[in-house]
Each structure stands twice: as structure tokens, then as C-alpha cells.
Amino acid sequence: MSALDPEHVNYHSHLLIVECKDRYGWGVHNGHQSLDAHCQWGAGTSVYGRDDAWTAQYRFDHDTALAIARSAAPHVIVNG
């Protein structure tokens, strides 16, 4: 999901990915960092080596993950 049109030259650098990451649920990320329910970035996208608190903060049901991405997309800033 991106606030930019898919034909825009910077589309991929402003992309938020919503995907079923693992057995714990859906994640919203940019390939390097994950978004929590408050649209705050956190390090990493994998639950590997994480505790239950991290999983609870960065894994959601499908509808919640989409809502987070829709809320955050217009505010993604790259190189700024």
C-alpha cells in the first residue's frame, strides 16, 4: 500500500507491505521495519528472537493490519 500511484517513480520507496508474516498474524512493514498499532516504527520484521511483547505489538489480524497501513501510508517519509 502506498499513497503514491503505482506508476510514480518513487512508489516502491514509499510502499507499506501488509502480509501474513507467520503463525502469529499479519504485519505491516517497509521491508526493514514494522509498524505498531500507533503507526510507530520498530526494528525488524521477524518474530525470530523476539519476546511475546514484541509479537503482541507488531502482529495483527488482517483487518487491523490493513487499517494501520491505510492510516500510515499518507505519512511515510523517505530520506527526510
Give pLDDT tens digits for 36-80.
999 999 988 888 889 999 999 999 999 999 999 999 988 877 765
Which grid coordinates belong to 52?
511475546
Side chain identity, residue 72: A
Q: Which residues pair with 22 in a beta bridge?
A: 25
Domain assignments of the chain as residue spans, ordered by start: 12-46+58-75
Tell whether pTM > 0.85: no
User: How far is 11 from 1, CA to CA, in rounded Å?
Assistant: 9
